[in-house]
Amino acid sequence: MKRILVTGGAGFIGANFVHHMIAHSDAEITVLDKMSYAANRASLEGLDPKRFTLVQGDICDYVLVNELVPQHDAVIHFAAETHNDNSLHDPRIFLKSNVMGTFELLEAVRHHEVRLHHISTDEVYGDLELDDPQRFTETTPYQPSSPYSASKASSDLLVKAWVRSFGIEATLSNCSNNYGPFQHVEKFIPRQITSILSGLPPKLYGNGANVRDWIHASDHSSAVQRILEAGERGRTYLIGADGERSNREVLGLILELMGRDADDFEWVADRAGHDLRYAIDATVLREELGWRPQYTDLERGLGATIDWYRQHRSWWEPAKARTEERYRRQLSGEEARMAS
């Protein structure tokens, strides 16, 4: 697989994947990214121009998509609106990019007979009780909670329908919560790290008991590469690294690693419809495709991530004030709604 089109490659996981593939394959990569607020050109700086091109454009653009797709051997589809809090305040763009954008790509890979790998999330399965011994598997029924996860579930179902009805050459993966370099400051871990670096208090939603199953973005990349090499057409693979921790525990680790007191944060109002717990069983990927995660020590991974944000202030500082202002607006909108 020589020529790869990576949608959303200027975002967090897409950029990590591009760096991974440049280092661990001989693929030539084109990134198609509309450069939304979540994208950052600096995440792709320094890549060899013989092997890497960035095209600014929208996956909903039929003409552009049909020009680019046939020039490639595979499309790896990361592009999406990805933040749950935003989806609660302005869901329209989530349906447009995540559902209609995926539809445009599906039609293009069908007509041009190009392989597709669709990137999705464990959030399509809804949530688990804290004491549930079950984890999500490839056969767990879909039960999304938020506009974001419903839009991702919709896109997954479109991919499955295009496999069955049109025989497209596609695979899917649903991954747990990622962390690592290049993650936008709106997301939980970078928000807390960059708040501490900016002299602002970290903010914990609800009672902090919600559990997320953390995986380093590099492990997500190696899993996707393995699926590209050996995944079976039409199959879904779950990606996770057994990293379940409560939000309170993760924040506690960040505070400790950054030399702060354990209670040096603020409790804030809970997210509407907040999923309680996600947990992935990645047995199929491990046993059938022989994939193993490498970065499973969360404390070490968080330490390295904190160092990265310390050393890359110019990467995140322009977005920080804007993001905190957006959170303030969302909160006051929520308060006004609840008062009326």
Active site residue 122: yes
Q: What is the spatial distance between Cα 263 and Cα 186, in angstroms, rounded to a whole number?
A: 21
Task: Give the residue carrying structure tokens 């501490």.
Answer: 196
Residue nearest to ligand NAD (CB): 11
Among 84, 97, 98, 140, binds ligand TDX (CB under 6 A): 84
222 lies in the binding site for ligand TDX (CB under 6 A)? no
Identify which of residues 78 and 295 has a Cβ nearer to ligand NAD in the complex. 78
Quote the tokens at residue 275.
Answer: 């999923």
C-alpha angle 43/223/179, rounded to 5°? 45
Binding mask 28-67 for ligand TDX (x = CB under 6 A): ----------------------------------------
97 lies in the binding site for ligand TDX (CB under 6 A)? no
CB of 74 to ligand NAD, least distance (A): 16
11 lies in the binding site for ligand NAD (CB under 6 A)? yes
Residue 84 interacting entry, from ligand NAD, ligand TDX, none, C-beta within 5 to 8 Å by type? ligand TDX
Active site residue 278: no
Among 4, 6, 12, 126, binds ligand NAD (CB under 6 A): 12
Largest Cα span, the chain: 58
302 lies in the binding site for ligand NAD (CB under 6 A)? no
Quote the tokens at residue 315.
Answer: 């990467």
- In the three-class reduction of DSSP (H, G, I as helix; E, B as strand; rest coil), residue 161 is classed as helix
Among 7, 30, 40, 82, binds ligand TDX (CB under 6 A): 82
Q: What is the spatial distance between Cα 294 and Cα 299, in angstroms, rounded to a whole number?
A: 14
Identify which of residues 77 and 110 has a Cβ nearer to ligand NAD in the complex. 77
- The rounded Cα 162 to chain-centroid distance in angstroms is 23
Using the rule CB under 6 A, give the single segment among 20-28, 177-185, 190-198, 269-277 that binds ligand NAD.
177-185
Binding residues among 47-86 for ligand NAD as defined by CB under 6 A: 58-60, 78-82
Q: What is the spatial distance between Cα 245 and Cα 187, in angstroms, rounded to a whole number?
A: 16
36 lies in the binding site for ligand NAD (CB under 6 A)? yes
Using the rule CB under 6 A, give the single segment among 25-33, 46-54, 80-88, 287-295 that binds ligand TDX.
80-88
Cβ partners under 8 Å of residue 167, min gap 6: none
Identify which of residues 80 and 302 has a Cβ nearer to ligand NAD in the complex. 80
Cβ density class 301-322: b for 16+ within 10 Å, e for less: bbeebbebbeeeeebbeebbee
Active site residue 327: no
Pairing of strands 74-77, 244-246: unpaired
Residue 87 interacting entry, from ligand NAD, ligand TDX, none, C-beta within 5 to 8 Å by type? none
Q: What is the spatial distance between Cα 239 and Cα 282, in angstroms, rounded to a whole number?
A: 6
315 lies in the binding site for ligand TDX (CB under 6 A)? no
Q: Which one of 58, 104, 123, 244 is the catalytic residue?
A: 123
Q: Are 54 and 46 in contact (CB under 8 A)?
A: no
Residue 317 belongs to what H/E stretch?
A: helix 313-339
Task: Give the residue carrying structure tokens 């559990």.
Answer: 211
Amino acid at 327: Y
Q: How far from each other are the two terminal CA atoms of the chain, in whole angstroms?
A: 56
The footprint of ligand TDX (CB under 6 A) covers 82-84, 121, 123, 177, 187-188, 191, 203-205, 210, 212, 247, 271
**Residues labelled as active-site residues:** 122-123, 148
The footprint of ligand NAD (CB under 6 A) covers 7-8, 10-14, 33-36, 38-39, 58-60, 78-82, 97, 101, 119, 121, 152, 175, 177-178, 184
